[in-house]
Amino acid sequence: SVCLAVDIGGTKIAAALVDCATNHIIERCQIATPKTQQPAILSAALESLLIPFIAQADFVAVASTGIINNGILIALNPTNLGGLNRFELVDYIYKITQLPTYAINDAQAAAWYEFISLNPNSNTDNMLFITISTGIGGGLVLNQQLQTGARGISGHIGHTVVNANGPLCGCGRQGCIEKVASGTAIGEIGTSLFNHLYSGQDVYQLALEGNSAALNIIHSSAAAVAELIANLTITLDLDTVVIGGSVGLAPNYCNYIQQYLNEKPELYRPRIILAQSGGDAGLLGAASWFAQQQS
């Protein structure tokens, strides 16, 4: 069968036709995520993106930012979506496509794809996927089973606290790692430090060009992620952690995480690898997760 896979992130929305037999992308397209509080605007953007693919697809599999429970997207951090906090994802997409439609959190989907892409000889039981991008998301595979959670929440590691006195996160909690270490946070910290409006990408570029203040921002982000990995490893007995997202996949970032982990005792150091499917893990993960549930 052919799946119309959709990945809704804080920065971009991608759609692709995926051949379920081979897990291969046939055709792909993407747009910027509209920043809005109005569901109708997101729905209109999805409509124009999806319409060209509908005729060739048998079903729709969505990987989306936010807590996905019973097909409804609830933003844990609405600021990532321009303030939108609730969106009836499956209903809207069904109305557009008239195809069977399923949805899962973006990082959970990516975790699943990264897990099934691992070498079968790697003996992986407990794996965490972390995406460091607009937000910080996560997906857990424990005892080789993807954890989605009874309410869809499982893996939302971006909202664990690294600094109890830190800045207020969009989720309502103070000092979440997403508020201090995500791409958005890197841009915000750079903006206030340099007194100039910078995106996370701008700050990363400055760091790559040798700006030491910018490099410090990137290092604190990687150090925070390394602490999170150590905490979760000793909690869940992780053997493997997969790093993804635009920041996670940026030059050197994963090496910095590894350097900070190397300073810790051995029990806190799982195997760290880069996402094998790069930016397509969400699309491919949703397609293979729901293709498997259908058969």
Residues of the shown chain interacting with ligand BMX in the complex, contacts defined by CB under 6 A: 9-10, 65-67, 75-77, 80-81, 105-107, 131, 133-137, 156, 158, 178
Residue with tokens 């949703």: 286
Q: Is residue 177 within the footprint of Zn ion (CB under 5 A)?
A: no
CB nearer to Zn ion: pick between 173 and 264: 173
Yes or no: say if 175 and 148 are a contact pair by the CB < 8 Å rule.
Answer: no
Binding mask 151-170 for Zn ion (x = CB under 5 A): --------x---------x-
User: Amino acid letter at 154?
Assistant: S
CB nearer to ligand BMX: pick between 18 and 130: 130
- Which residues 6+ apart lie within 8 Å of 283 measured at CB? 5, 6, 7, 14, 15, 16, 18, 25, 28, 63
Shortest separation between residue 102's beta carbon and ligand BMX, angstroms: 17
Q: Is residue 171 within the footprint of Zn ion (CB under 5 A)?
A: yes
Shortest separation between residue 120's beta carbon and ligand BMX, angstroms: 27
Size of the chain, expressed as the number of residues it contains? 295
CB nearer to ligand BMX: pick between 57 and 93: 93
Question: Which whole-number Å values give the CA distances from 253 to 22, 84, 181, in the listed order?
Answer: 31, 30, 12
Residue 9 binds which of Zn ion, ligand BMX, none (CB < 5-8 A, kind-dependent): ligand BMX
**What is the DSSP track for 178-196?**
HHHHSHHHHHHHHHHHHTS
Yes or no: say if 203 and 193 are a contact pair by the CB < 8 Å rule.
Answer: no
Taking phi over 0 as left and psi of -120 to 50 as alpha, with beta for the rest, 123 belongs to left
CB nearer to Zn ion: pick between 50 and 186: 186
Residue 140 binds which of Zn ion, ligand BMX, none (CB < 5-8 A, kind-dependent): none
Shortest separation between residue 141's beta carbon and Zn ion, angstroms: 23
Two tokens at 226?
């390394």
Of the candidate residues 107, 176, 177, 228, the single one contacting Zn ion (CB under 5 A): 176
CB nearer to ligand BMX: pick between 138 and 270: 138
Residue 184 binds which of ligand BMX, Zn ion, none (CB < 5-8 A, kind-dependent): none
Of the candidate residues 12, 173, 219, 264, the single one contacting Zn ion (CB under 5 A): 173
- Which residues 6+ apart lie within 8 Å of 170 measured at CB? 77, 78, 79, 80, 179
Question: Which whole-number Å values give the CA distances from 65 to 45, 139, 284, in the listed order?
Answer: 16, 12, 15
Q: Which residues bind Zn ion (CB under 5 A)?
A: 159, 169, 171, 173, 176
